[in-house]
């Protein structure tokens, strides 16, 4: 039983879903004498798989077409986690704040004034770095802080970009997007390097957002 409760705590920290959190609370409310180990194991496995799919396997150009077959190019989870830690520590030093993990990629300081979302990408040949920026929970979470940053980390770089929420909002309608079957929206963020400068591509041709001022 103790192991199952620990798993529930891990799920609550790893998930970005308010629905999952509510289900956890429901499971923990007293009800008939029923062992919850199997329920907990099911929730833990399902959420873990879903989070991996959303963050690392989402339909961005991490999928290459090869002779009409789609081959998934996966980044090891430990590399992604290490880069998240490295990036949030850089932001914490710059902001002189004790930023803590709330859930999965969502972070905040103890006062809940500073909110950050950390996403990681590897380099895709000549296409640069690709990220998914979800309307919910990521955009919603950043909007709830007095300060909000979407932190773009790269697996092959020792720096990241802490893009302010306001800067993202200024180009929100000009970013390519995908609408999921559930109706939720995520934006495609493509960053690329030109003569040592990093840029975020906007939907309009030859339009971009300069990221260098956000480097941490």
If one compares 77 and 41, the residue with the highest pLDDT of the two is 77
Phi-psi category of 125—alpha, beta or left, where left has phi over 0 and alpha has psi -120 to 50? left
Q: How high is the pLDDT of residue 62? A: 42
Task: Please give the mean pLDDT across all residues of the chain.
Answer: 78
Confidence band, pLDDT 50/70/90 cuts, at residue 104: confident
Confidence band, pLDDT 50/70/90 cuts, at residue 40: low
**Cα separation values, 65 from 69, 128, 133, Å:** 6, 17, 23
Instruction: Quote the crossing angle between the two packed helices 2-14 and 18-28, to the nearest 10°.
Output: 160
Q: How high is the pLDDT of residue 8? A: 61
Look at residues 124, 123, 174, 112 and name the one whose alpha carbon lies nearest to residue 153: 123
Q: How high is the pLDDT of residue 48? A: 45
pLDDT in tens, 111-168: 999 999 999 999 887 668 999 999 988 999 999 999 999 999 999 999 999 999 999 9
Confidence band, pLDDT 50/70/90 cuts, at residue 49: very low
Which pair of tokens denotes residue 130?
């690709």
If one compares 175 and 51, the residue with the highest pLDDT of the two is 175
Q: How high is the pLDDT of residue 56? A: 43
Q: How high is the pLDDT of residue 136? A: 87
Mean pLDDT value of segment 58-83: 61
Q: How high is the pLDDT of residue 183? A: 81
**Cα separation values, 211 from 72, 106, 135, 146, Å:** 28, 21, 21, 21
Which pair of tokens denotes residue 96?
């002189």
> In this predicted structure, which of 87-101, 135-149, 150-164, 193-207 has the lowest mean pLDDT?
193-207
């Amino acid at each position: 039983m103790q192991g199952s409760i620990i798993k529930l705590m891990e799920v609550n920290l790893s998930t970005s879903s308010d629905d999952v959190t509510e289900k956890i609370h429901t499971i923990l409310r007293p009800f008939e004498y029923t062992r919850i180990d199997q329920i907990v194991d099911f929730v833990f496995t399902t959420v873990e798989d879903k989070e991996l799919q959303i963050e690392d396997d989402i339909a961005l150009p991490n999928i290459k077409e090869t002779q009409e077959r789609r081959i998934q190019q996966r980044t090891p989870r430990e590399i992604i986690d290490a880069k998240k830690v490295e990036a949030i520590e850089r932001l914490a030093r710059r902001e002189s704040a004790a930023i803590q993990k709330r859930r999965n990629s969502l972070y905040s300081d103890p006062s809940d004034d500073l909110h950050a979302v950390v996403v990681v990408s590897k380099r895709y040949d000549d296409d640069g770095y690709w990220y998914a920026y979800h309307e919910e929970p990521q955009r919603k979470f950043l909007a709830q802080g007095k300060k909000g940053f979407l932190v773009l980390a790269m697996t092959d770089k020792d720096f990241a970009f802490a893009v302010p929420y306001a800067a993202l909002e200024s180009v929100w309608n000009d970013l390519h997007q995908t609408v999921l079957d559930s109706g939720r929206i995520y934006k495609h963020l493509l960053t690329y390097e030109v003569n040592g400068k990093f840029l975020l591509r906007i939907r309009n041709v030859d339009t971009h957002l300069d990221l260098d001022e956000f480097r941490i």
